[in-house]
Amino acid sequence: MPRQKLSEFRAKTIIYGALGLPYRGWSIDTSADLKLQLKAVHERTSHVVVKVDEGVKRRFKQGLVLLDVAPADVEEAVHKLQSRGYRWLIVEPMWEYAKTEERYFSLALERGGWLCRYSQSGGVDIESAASQVKSMLLRPGEDPKEVASATGFSQAQIVALEAVCADNAFAFLELNPYIVAANSVQLLDAAVEVDDTAAFFVDDWQFDDLRFHVGHQLTPQEKLIQELDATSPASLKLNVLNPEGSIFLLLSGGGASVVVADEIYNQGYGPQLANYGEYSGNPNSEETYLYTKAVLELLINSPAKQKVLFIGGAVANFTDIAKTFAGVLRAIDEVAGKLKTQQVKVFVRRGGPHQEEGLRAMETMLEKHELLGAVHSPDTPLTEAVDEALKEIAHG
């Protein structure tokens, strides 16, 4: 989905290029041969920094930045971060400077131009020094004189940064900290979010340069849906919240899916919510089959005693209910025996083109396998159907 984090290595390569400055850094893929990748680092004599490059926030505080590493110890440092489950690392020269030299700079895409935020005191504690951060909207074609004098960049460099952001579909660029020396600038940490819908129009980064950090290791099911989503014109999302949860969701529609999840959360069932996700944009029945299969695998694997599956959505405008349900039905049918043994109940509420056909087929199938909780048309309000499913949990 649109805003994705760009690897720091790729971001810096692009930004240093725009500033007209050389960049020295190495991107390390710990899943590939390390010897070859670290050869150039080993040949150095001065110390380096080894950092995780996966778009993780607050890296320093989480111990994911290893400072002042001697070239001989780089391999050990790499293994240390790798053992914490990270694949992508970045190695850069170690710079000596005083903490007071750390500055902050960011550009964010806004209506009307780039919102520039900057401060003379940057660094890892920027959030507590927020009051010192100034901001100014840079409109296209305006001279960034004031920003240039306050940030240590030249006017031409500010203009070049705006241009490089536009050309590379950056939605957000943050340099924190960076230091300004006599004739040069060093970007110690850089974070960039790109608008990946513009990938087609951009040359300097590719899909491989994007970093998807979700705060936990992706389950095989989440990985599968991510890949499915990347290759389909429809939208398919899956997030696992609690693998041991009891409420499983199979939702349609970007808005309605959030409303359903909200309802569960607002009723105090948040901890039991196993997953959030949605499919929309009229996926074909093969896609809904694979999607349902993934959700059902999660459901069957959960040790929770009383489990429900809620299949639902709003009244679709153009997503064909009979067609999308055909895939859902096939997937349920395949594991119906297991679901019955686990006493799973399925609740359905959906409307849209060919809803009668889809809902009727669903009801018949669920009844046959003794999985039927309830099947509702849009005559039943969306959240009422959710509440009905929740009662099953409360009573269980």
Partner 1 sequence: MDNLRDLEPHIICLGSHPGIIQSMLDYHYCLGQEKSPVEAIVGTNRKQERYFWGHHEIVIPVYRDLTAVPVHLRSKANVMLLVQSARRVLSGMQAASDALPNLALVNIFAEQVPEAHALLIGSLAREHKVLVAGPASVGLLLPGSLKLGAIGGTEYPQLVSAGIFAPGNTAVVSTSGGMVNELIHVVTRSGSGISFALALGGDRYPITDPAEAMLLAQADKQTERIVYFGELGGEDEYRIAELLKDGSVSKPVIAYIAGSVAELFPEPPQFGHAKAMASSQSETAAAKKAVLREAGAQVVDVFKDIGSLLGDNTSSVESQSHRPIQARRRRLIMSRLSGETNGEVQLLGKDLLATVNESSIASLYLSLLLGMTVDQPKIVAFTDYILRLLVDHGPYVSGAVNTAIAARAGKDLPSSLAAGLLTIGPRFGGAVNAAAAAWLSGVDNGTSAKSFVSSFTAQGGIIPGIGHKKYRIDVPDPRVTAIVDNFAGNTNNDRYLHFGRQVETVTTAKKGNLILNVDGAIAAVMLDLLESELGYTPEQLQELVDIEFFNALFIASRSVGLMAHYLDQRRHDEGLFRLSEEDVSYIP
Q: State the residues that interact with partner 1 by CB under 8 A.
A: 1-3, 57, 109, 111, 166, 169, 171, 195, 197-198, 200-201, 213-216, 235, 237, 239, 241, 252-259, 261-266, 270, 273, 276, 278, 280-281, 313-318, 351-354, 356, 378, 381-384
Closest CA to 369 of 309, 313, 321: 309
HEC per residue, 327-368: HHHHHHHHCHHHHHHCCCEEEEEEECCCHHHHHHHHHHHHHH
Nearer to partner 1, 2 or 220 (CB): 2
Instruction: Report in angstroms how near the CB of residue 311 gets to partner 1 at its nearest.
Output: 14
CA–CA separation, 124 vs 136, rounded Å? Answer: 22
CB proximity list for 195: less than 8 A, separation 6 or greater: 2, 3, 109, 169, 170, 171
Nearest CA among 129, 144, 135 for reference residue 105: 135
Beta-carbon-side half-sphere exposure of residue 298 (alpha carbons within 13 Å): 33
CA–CA distance, 42 with 70 (Å, rounded to integer):
9
Q: How far is the CB of 255 from partner 1 (least distance, A)?
A: 2
Residue type, 245: G
Tell the smallest beta-carbon distance from residue 383 to partner 1 (Å): 4
Measured from the CB atom, the residue of 14 and 335 that comes closer to partner 1 is 14
When the beta carbons of 135 and 184 are compared against partner 1, the nearer one is: 135
Spatial strand order in the sheet of 65-69: 26-29, 88-93, 48-52, 65-69
Residue 381 CB, nearest distance to partner 1 (Å)?
Answer: 5
Q: Minimum Å distance from CB 280 to partner 1?
A: 6
Which C-beta is closer to partner 1: that of 138 or that of 339? 138
Q: Which is nearer to partner 1, 25 or 245 (CB)?
A: 245
Q: What is the DSSP code (8-state) at residue 218?
A: P
Task: Report in angstroms how near the CB of residue 38 gets to partner 1 at its nearest.
Answer: 30
Closer residue to partner 1, CB minimum distance, 157 or 280: 280
Helical (H) or strand (E) element with 171: strand 170-180
